[in-house]
């Protein structure tokens, strides 16, 4: 009887010890270069973390934001041409995943400009900076 109780205790302990709650995915970690006065290009690199599914559409360098937005002073940045994902100007509906590099032309920034990178499904800013 004692051996049955010990066996059941051991089995229950093993089951409880081996079942873990899955870790939530890491939010995307992004870096930005080119956010300075007189810059002609903004470069956003997805360093690691969760893939942003259906982040944007890319056609002929035009970017249409979907689940990811680049905002300047609260307004979505319009990219009518010159946008590239990993050097390509075509891609259709794009995911933005670790290792990807998104570049877009800009007309330059001024002191006081605020740059926000928004993860739309959560309404959460992934990056925020003010040009000083």
- In-domain check, residue 78: yes
Q: Round to whole Å and give the CA distance between 61 and 95.
A: 16
- In-domain check, residue 11: no
Tally of domains within the chain = 1
- In-domain check, residue 29: yes
Q: Round to whole Å and give the CA distance between 97 and 52.
A: 6
- pLDDT by residue for the chain (132 residues), tens digit each? 556 555 555 555 555 556 566 666 688 999 999 999 989 999 999 999 999 999 999 999 999 999 999 999 999 999 999 999 999 999 899 999 999 999 999 988 999 999 999 999 988 999 999 999
What CATH number does residue 66 fall under? 2.60.40
- In-domain check, residue 13: no
Range of the domain at 81: 25-130
């Amino acid at each position: 009887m004692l051996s049955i109780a010990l066996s059941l205790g051991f089995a229950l302990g093993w089951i409880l010890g081996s079942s873990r709650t899955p870790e939530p995915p890491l939010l995307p970690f992004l870096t930005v270069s080119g956010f300075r006065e007189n810059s002609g290009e903004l470069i956003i690199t997805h360093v690691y973390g969760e893939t942003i599914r259906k982040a944007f559409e890319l056609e002929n360098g035009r970017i249409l934001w979907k689940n990811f937005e680049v905002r300047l002073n609260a307004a979505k940045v319009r990219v009518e041409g010159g946008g590239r994902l990993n050097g390509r100007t075509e891609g259709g509906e794009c995911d933005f995943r670790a290792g990807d590099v998104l570049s877009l032309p800009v007309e330059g920034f001024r002191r006081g400009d605020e740059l926000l990178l928004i993860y739309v499904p959560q309404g959460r800013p992934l990056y925020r900076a003010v040009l000083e």
